[in-house]
Structures are given as structure tokens and as C-alpha cells.
Amino acid sequence: MKSQQELGVAVPANKPLVVRTIKQVTKEQREYVLKKTEYSMFSFPADLIFVDFLSDSGSGTMTDFQWAALFHGDESYARNKGYYVLLEAIRDTFERGDYPKKSIDMILSGETNVKKLIDELYLKSYEGGFVNGGIHQLTRPNAFIVPQGRCAEHLLFSTIAPILRENKNITYYIPNNGHFDTTEANISANGIIAVNLFSANLMEDFPYDEMDKRNPFKGNMDLEGLENLIQEKGVDTIPLIYITITNNTAAGQPVSMQNIKAVHKIAQKYDIPLFFDACRFAENAHFIKEFEEGYQNYTIPRIIQEMFSYVDGFTISYKKDGLANMGGFLCFRDKGLFHKKFSINEDIGIKLKEKQILTFGNDSYGGMSGRDIMALAAGLYEVVKEPYLNERKTHVRDFARKLAQNGIPVILPAGGHAVYLDMNKFFEGTDMKISDFGGVGFTIELLKHYGIRAVELGPFAFEWDKKTPEQRKGILNLVRFAMPRNVYNTSHIDYAVAAITELYKNRDKIPKVRISRGAELRLRHFQSGIQPIYKE
Ligand SMILES: *Cc1c(COP(=O)(O)O)cnc(C)c1O
């Protein structure tokens, strides 16, 4: 008899307790609604969709532990109890590895020992890490709660840009292994140039039957590219280096610990602060455990602790990694390199806090409701659980494998949160040009015929037509199917695989598209109108 492990399939990690019925919408109804919503994926009513792969952001199912925590939400204006619990959960997750304190249990179990609450939670003093505590968070604030990831990006870049310009009026660059669209937009909105340094092996072929055996960490940063950029543009032009884990723009591919360490070394050598865009830290840690030499016997929390030991700070959307439906965060190491470099006339933390209050609210809620803060704090303990991560990984990989088996050009190995199609290969042999936005035409047809929503992350989203030939090299031509956590099962995947395969067979019928409204808008894929051009 085979053992549980020898069966070769992931052991189920959870079971749903709530079910939502999907509406049986017809193709004609979807066609009508598409026409009335300018064929934009972002304007189509979600309630009319069978399977929604638009985003994994905030669209996951919460666990019973999170729903229970939500009821402990404290909606007080200042210093709600969830604020303290969340800061502790963040210290646990990113700094304490195998030794979390889990102070959240004190609140959930109704601790009545007031002295204990005061000493261990409400006034407990911390300094020197990502999240100062007690008096130090008041005098040297370094941790900022915001509603989502882009708010953290806005807070960071809009605060440092004027400091940089005051200092020296030169062109600044922020390199990344792959800027997410909102990160790039927030950087360029503040007059800084965002540079993508994708790994050279990103678009290399990979056999689908080896996905469980090895992983080439295609999300890595191009180290040579980074050195060249610093040498070429000069150290003073680079205020920050960013690593996105996992690399969403580069097909959700993971970044190895070795690469993180190497970038850290370069950053140290040139005295440049290193930040994570940490959105999918748990999924990235899981890839390291599974595939990187030397980490098989580490726990996920311990890997996360090591990953974060190499950075000076991070921005994060807590809507990713299945953590919560809402939340974002910015922090930097107390008295670290970032703090030193940007505290020129005034403490950078004080400046950031002032802007946080101006735009999102008091620092103890930062635009979040008390119940969302509690659900998020609980979520941080849920996403690092290995059975959950195993099951999720298997699910996404399964989707990619089934597409590959049907001959669909899917990026392999599968990323952590999504499956990506290579649209250049998809349209090979047809007359579709990159400026025809074939990926957008594909998503329109997929939604119209089969009620499945995906998103183009390619020349349309990354504004190919507005960029220089040099900048165009940083644009991939992809369509993304993002998997919300604990929402879809094998039947949803099989339906999607059949639909995508049918469209692939009929790819010569997919329309080119034209931007009918708002081509010039920033982040236009969220807001502009589209017109498919159907052949007669
Ligand atoms: C989603 C995402 C962001 C932005 O977060 P929001 O919560 O959507 O504002 C930033 N970076 C990456 C890598 C992301 O996936």
C-alpha cells in the first residue's frame, strides 16, 4: 500500500463552508453588456461572469479563523486594539521566524489580565526592526497602515521625490526585477524612471512535466543589468532598488534566496537602500522551500525571516497571498540605511506619517476599518501554512499543465498565483501585430463566448505605443489568469482549459482592437474604452 505522500497528489488543505450560486448568463447577454461597457474587462459586472480570473487581489476566501477575528474588530477612532495586534502579527511574520508571539490569541481568547495587556501588547517597546513599538513608534514612526499596495507606493514615492529633487536636480531611476503596473505608475507620476531588469531566462522554454522537479527562478533580477545601470547612470541617480516577490509582471515567477542575497550585496556595496514589493512573500518562500538547495528542511516562517533580513523596508498589498480582502503597508528598518539617507532636514518617518494622516487617516487605522484590520492580522498566520500553500501551488500548476498538454503557449513553469499565456506565440502565423493588442481581443472573446474573465498585461496595459524603442524592451506580451485563493476548484479549471483551447484553435477569428477612448490616460487599462474590429 502506498503511503499518503507516495500517492503523488496534494492532501486536501481545507473545505468550503459557504457556497455561492453562479448565474446562468447567455452569450447574447454578455455580448450586449460588453458593448455597453466599452469592451473593458474592468467595467464588466462581475455578477454576470462564470469564472473570474481577473485578479487574485482581495478576491480570496477568508478562513473561519479570519471571520472569527473580524468580529473582534474595534472601530474606535484612535488606537483600536486591532492596530496593536496587527503590528505584532507583522513582527511575527517578517521578523520572528519559528518563534512567533501570536499576541492575537490574547484578544481572541478575551484576556482580562489588564497588566498583561498593557505590558505585552499596548505599551510594549520595540526598536531596531521594521515595526517600532510603544514610545518609539511615536517618536520614530516606521510602520504605516494603508488601504492597499498602491497607497503604500504613493506614500513612499510622493514623499521621497521632493526630497530627491531638493537635494539634486537630476534624473532618477528605480530598478526592479519587474515593476508592477501601479508601482511603475506611482514612480513615473513622481518624475522618476522605473527600470525593469528581467532575468535573461524568463522566456525560455520549460517542459511541463518537470514543474514538480525543478524551478529556474525566472523571477530573479538581472544582476549584470543592475551593475550596468548603476555604473552607467551613477550611484547618485538610484535612490532605491526594488525586488518584487513573486515577480507578478514577469509571469508571477519566484525569486531565489540566492538572487535576493546577491542584490543585497550589490545594494550594500553602493550604499543604496533595498526594498521588497512583498505582495506574495508566502508563495515566494514556498518556492524557495520546494526548489532551492538547502531550504527543504526550513519552515516557511523561517524562510520568510531570512528573505526579509536582506532588505531595508518594503511596500506590500495585503490583498495578495490570500491574506485579506483589503490592506496595505509600508515600513522601513528603524535607523537603517533608508532612514539615514532620507532623513535630511526632518525624520523621514515623521514626514511619511504626516502624509499618511493627510491622505488615509490616523496612523492606527490608515484608511482601514477595525474589522478589516483584525481579519488581516489573522490572515498573516493563515497564509504561511504549508498544506494551504501546497494545495494552491498544485492547483495553479495543474491549470498550466493542462493548457500545455493542449498545445497552448503558456509560460512555464507556472507562477505562484497565476497562469500566463505568451500572446506573441499565441498569434504566431496570423497577421496580428503587437500594436493590434491581440491579447485584449482574446480576453474580449473569452468573456463573450465562455463567460471567463482574464486580463491583458502586455502592450495595452504597459502602454507600448507611448514608449521609446528602449522602453519597449521591458514590455512582455502576456494574458494573465490569476487564481483567487480558495475560490475555484478543478471543475472551474477544466472549463477554462476547454474554452481557451477552443479559442486557440480559432485564433484567426480573434479581433484586433483599437482604443476608442482614453488612450492617453495613466493606467489606462483600468479606465479606457476599447473597440474590437471584427472581420466580415
Ligand atoms: C497588486 C500589486 C500591487 C498593488 O497593490 P494594490 O493592493 O492592488 O494596490 C503592487 N505590486 C504587486 C506585485 C502587486 O501584485
pLDDT tens sequence across 311-333: 999 999 999 976 899 999 999 99
Which numbered atom of ligand 1 lies nearest the CA of 147? 7
- DSSP letters of 229-257? HHHHH-GGG---EEEESSBTTTTTB---H
Three-state secondary structure of 299-313: CHHHHHHHHHHCCCE
pLDDT tops 90 at residue 525: no
User: How many CB atoms are closer than 10 A to CB 107?
Assistant: 20
Q: Kindly state the average pLDDT of the residues 392-412.
A: 96
Q: Locate 253 and state its grid cell.
A: 515567477
pLDDT tens sequence across 137-167: 999 999 999 999 999 999 999 999 999 998 7
Which numbered atom of ligand 1 lies nearest the CA of 319? 7
**Angstrom distance (rounded) from CA 95 to CA 154:** 25
pLDDT tens sequence across 36-61: 999 999 999 999 999 999 999 999 99
pLDDT tops 90 at residue 449: yes
Buried/exposed 108-140: b ≥16 CB within 10 Å, e otherwise: beeeeeeeebeebbeebebbebbbbbeebbeeb
8 Å CB contact between 41 and 453: yes
Q: Answer with the residue of higher pLDDT: 262 or 16.
A: 262
CA 105 remoteness from chain centre: 28
CA 308 remoteness from chain centre: 16
Which numbered atom of ligand 1 lies nearest the CA of 249? 13
CATH code linked to domain 136-382: 3.40.640.10
**Angstrom distance (rounded) from CA 88 to CA 139:** 18
> What was the pLDDT predicted at 476?
87
CA 326 remoteness from chain centre: 13
Angle (deg, nearest 10), helices 300-309 and 257-270: 20
Among protein residues, the one whose CA lies closest to atom 8 of ligand 1: 149
Cα–Cα–Cα angle for 247, 46, 486, rounded to 5 degrees: 55
> What was the pLDDT predicted at 10?
79
pLDDT tens sequence across 338-383: 999 999 889 999 999 999 999 999 999 999 999 999 999 999 999 9
What Å distances lie between residue 255 and 249, 259, 282, 495, CA to CA? 13, 7, 12, 31
**Angstrom distance (rounded) from CA 7 to CA 22:** 33
Angle (deg, nearest 10), helices 370-382 and 81-95: 20
DSSP class of residue 387 equals H
> What was the pLDDT predicted at 260?
98
Q: What's the pLDDT band for 529 if we cut at 50, 70, 90?
A: very high
User: How far is ligand 1, taken at its centre, from the CA of residue 316, in Å?
Assistant: 7
> What was the pLDDT predicted at 323?
81
From 154, 243, 279, give the residue whose CB has the most ligand 1 atoms within 8 Å, as the site to mutate: 279
**Angstrom distance (rounded) from CA 402 to CA 450:** 18
pLDDT tens sequence across 465-524: 998 998 888 788 999 999 999 999 999 999 999 999 999 999 999 999 999 999 888 888
> What was the pLDDT predicted at 153?
98
Give the least confident one: 101-110, 245-254, 276-285, 319-328.
319-328
Buried/exposed 15-35: b ≥16 CB within 10 Å, e otherwise: eeeeeeeeeeeeeeebeebbe
Task: Return the domain boundaries, the chain.
Answer: 21-52+388-533, 136-382
pLDDT tens sequence across 420-447: 999 999 999 999 999 999 999 999 999 9
User: How far is ligand 1, taken at its centre, from the CA of residue 125, in Å?
Assistant: 31
Q: Which residues contact 440 (CB under 8 A, 6 or more apart)?
A: 456, 460, 513, 530
Pocket (CB within 6 angstroms of ligand 1): 57, 148-150, 180, 182-183, 244, 248, 277, 279, 317, 319-320, 328
User: How far is ligand 1, taken at its centre, from the CA of residue 448, in Å?
Assistant: 27
Which numbered atom of ligand 1 lies nearest the CA of 246? 13
**Angstrom distance (rounded) from CA 185 to CA 194:** 9
Among protein residues, the one whose CA lies closest to atom 3 of ligand 1: 149
Q: What's the pLDDT band for 168 if we cut at 50, 70, 90?
A: confident
Q: Which residues contact 20 (CB under 8 A, 6 or more apart)?
A: none
Match domain 21-52+388-533 to its CATH number in 3.90.1150.10, 3.40.640.10, 1.20.140.10, 3.30.450.20: 3.90.1150.10
> What was the pLDDT predicted at 479?
97
Percentage of the chain surpassing pLDDT 90?
A: 90
User: How far is ligand 1, taken at its centre, from the CA of residue 432, in Å?
Assistant: 30
User: How far is ligand 1, taken at its centre, from the CA of residue 278, in Å?
Assistant: 9
pLDDT tops 80 at residue 135: yes
User: How far is ligand 1, taken at its centre, from the CA of residue 318, in Å?
Assistant: 9
User: How far is ligand 1, taken at its centre, from the CA of residue 303, in Å?
Assistant: 22
